[in-house]
């Protein structure tokens, strides 16, 4: 009996060490390498201040953009051009019909190289990292932030693709995840040390990099938490049945979350409706579709199917809870797409095309999910 207990205790320690080592891996930094990071753009009317770090040196440049729809700039030490507009970004619709094809990835967590590999192999983008998918819809299902060390590169690429896709009558949908909200609220628990050092060199808090007057901040504050394409709902974590007790439709929830991103945590906690949306049972955190969770009570199949009927959809696509591969459940009503892109060497995508759902592997091989 003692030997059995010793074995179990040893296994527990090994698992604990593995998780700890993995978190260290996300945050390790080479102290001999000088930091180059950015750029971060801050607006004041039609003038911008471009801030960045080059070889450990903080640099700030002021530029007058005027009323240009698109303004391009490049910087020493950074690849490519960066495009911004003096016109604040608009809130796009949250519902689209007659979408012939969509491609979904989630929980990138700063793994820029893996994201590029997946999108390039499936010809969503070309070798120059430009939009190549015509009228298709690309869904980034939250959690681009935290853990990895190439969050800024991810954000600028998504920002660019969103502009380019519109020109081809395609769409890029970047929905909010819990880690977007955490960083916007200056919760740095999972922020890579690279960004803590960047903020320190700029004499800012991490959350200030994404303030309301920044390019990233004002862009992120237009994003939805829940969107609908055809008869499919997309949300980072999941929809609790109580959502429709509080709100008549998911668009209301989108608006309330967006309007309260900058609300003080104490006020959110004291308000029943806000507390529901921003905490464990809300669409940013809810894990009730999965068995192996300790934060939510698992939903029953009849409850889920009734919820989907009330929402006017047949399926729901979620991220947030990492799976080994894309494997639908609840009679193919739930499709989980977080398959470990955050680890840097794993991850799949969901493809809908010609009325068929596929799981797409990193090399672009695809398998039909259900018949």
292 and 197 in one domain? yes
137 and 54 in one domain? no
323 and 215 in one domain? yes
124 and 152 in one domain? yes
Establish if 32 belongs to a structural domain: no
124 and 68 in one domain? no
Q: Give the helix/strand (H/E) hosting 265.
A: helix 265-270
Nearby residues of 219 by Cβ (< 8 Å), 6 or more positions away: 89, 159
Establish if 321 belongs to a structural domain: yes
Establish if 4 belongs to a structural domain: no
Per-residue pLDDT at 24: 41
99 and 80 in one domain? no
Establish if 216 belongs to a structural domain: yes
**Reported confidence tier of residue 27, pLDDT bands at 50, 70, 90:** low
78 and 120 in one domain? no
Domain interval for residue 52: 37-84
Here the CATH number for the domain that contains residue 180 is 3.60.21.10
- Concatenating the DSSP letter of every residue in 142-207 gives S--SSSSS-HHHHHHHHHHHHHHHHHTT-EEEE---HHHHHHHTT--TT--HHHHHHHHHTTS-GG
Establish if 22 belongs to a structural domain: no
303, 316 in Cβ contact below 8 A?
A: no
- The per-residue pLDDT for range 189-211, each reduced to its tens digit, is 999 999 999 999 999 999 999 99
Residues 220 and 90: their CA atoms lie apart, in Å, by 11
Q: Which residues pair with 84 in a beta bridge?
A: 71
Task: Among 47, 64, 84, identify where a domain stops.
Answer: 84
58 and 126 in one domain? no
Task: Among 84, 119, 148, identify where a domain stops.
Answer: 84
Residues 317 and 335: their CA atoms lie apart, in Å, by 5
- The per-residue pLDDT for range 257-283, each reduced to its tens digit, is 999 999 999 999 999 999 999 999 999
Nearby residues of 34 by Cβ (< 8 Å), 6 or more positions away: 55, 56
- The radius of gyration computed from the CA coordinates of the chain, to the nearest angstrom, equals 21
Residues 275 and 272: their CA atoms lie apart, in Å, by 5
364 and 277 in one domain? yes
Task: Among 51, 84, 117, identify where a domain stops.
Answer: 84
Establish if 238 belongs to a structural domain: yes
- The per-residue pLDDT for range 304-353, each reduced to its tens digit, is 999 999 999 999 999 999 999 999 999 999 999 999 999 999 999 999 99
**Reported confidence tier of residue 76, pLDDT bands at 50, 70, 90:** very high
**Reported confidence tier of residue 31, pLDDT bands at 50, 70, 90:** low
149 and 297 in one domain? yes
pLDDT at 8 over 50: no
Q: How distant is the alpha carbon of residue 244 from its chain centre?
A: 24
Q: How distant is the alpha carbon of residue 222 from its chain centre?
A: 14
Establish if 20 belongs to a structural domain: no
Establish if 30 belongs to a structural domain: no
pTM of the entire structure? Answer: 0.91
Per the structure, the count of domains in the chain is 2
Mean pLDDT of 67-91: 92
321 and 256 in one domain? yes
Give pairs for 220-224: CB < 8 Å, separation 24+: 220/176, 220/180, 220/184, 221/184, 221/258, 221/261, 222/89, 222/90, 222/91, 222/92, 222/258, 223/174, 223/175, 223/176, 223/180, 223/258, 224/91, 224/92, 224/94, 224/173, 224/175, 224/176, 224/254, 224/258
104, 175 in Cβ contact below 8 A?
A: no
105 and 74 in one domain? no
Mean pLDDT of the chain: 91
């Amino acid at each position: 009996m003692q030997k059995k207990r010793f074995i179990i205790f040893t296994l527990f320690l090994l698992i604990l060490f593995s998780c700890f080592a993995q978190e260290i891996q996300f945050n390790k930094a080479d102290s001999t390498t000088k930091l180059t990071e950015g750029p971060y753009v801050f607006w004041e009317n039609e003038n911008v201040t471009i801030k960045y770090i080059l070889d450990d040196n903080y640099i700030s440049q002021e530029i007058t953009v005027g009323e240009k729809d698109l303004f391009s700039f490049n910087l020493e030490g950074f690849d490519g051009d960066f495009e911004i507009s003096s016109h604040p970004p608009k809130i796009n619709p949250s519902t689209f019909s007659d979408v012939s094809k969509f491609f979904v990835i989630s929980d990138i967590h700063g793994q820029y190289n893996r994201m590029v590999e997946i999108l390039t192999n499936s010809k969503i983008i070309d070798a120059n990292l430009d939009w190549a998918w015509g009228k298709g819809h690309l869904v980034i299902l939250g959690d681009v932030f935290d853990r990895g060390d190439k969050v800024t590169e991810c954000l600028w690429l998504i920002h660019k693709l969103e502009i380019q896709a519109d020109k081809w009558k395609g769409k890029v949908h970047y929905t909010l995840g819990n880690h977007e909200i955490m960083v916007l609220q200056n919760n740095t628990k999972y922020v890579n040390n690279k960004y803590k050092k960047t903020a320190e060199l700029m004499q800012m808090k991490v959350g200030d990099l994404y303030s309301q007057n920044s390019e990233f901040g004002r862009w992120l504050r237009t994003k939805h938490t829940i969107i609908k394409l055809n008869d499919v709902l997309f949300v980072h974590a999941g929809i609790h049945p109580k959502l429709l007790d509080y709100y008549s439709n998911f668009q209301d929830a989108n608006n309330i979350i967006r309007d309260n991103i900058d609300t003080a945590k104490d006020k959110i906690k004291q308000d029943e409706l806000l507390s529901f949306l921003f905490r464990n049972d809300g669409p940013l955190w809810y894990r009730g579709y999965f068995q192996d969770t300790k934060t939510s009570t698992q939903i029953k199949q009849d409850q889920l199917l009734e919820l989907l009927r009330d929402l006017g959809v047949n399926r729901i696509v979620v991220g947030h809870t990492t799976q080994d591969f894309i494997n639908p459940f609840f009679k193919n009503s739930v499709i989980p797409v977080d398959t470990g892109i955050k680890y840097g060497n794993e991850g799949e995508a969901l493809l809908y095309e010609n009325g068929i759902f596929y799981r797409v592997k990193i090399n672009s091989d695809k398998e039909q999910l259900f018949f």
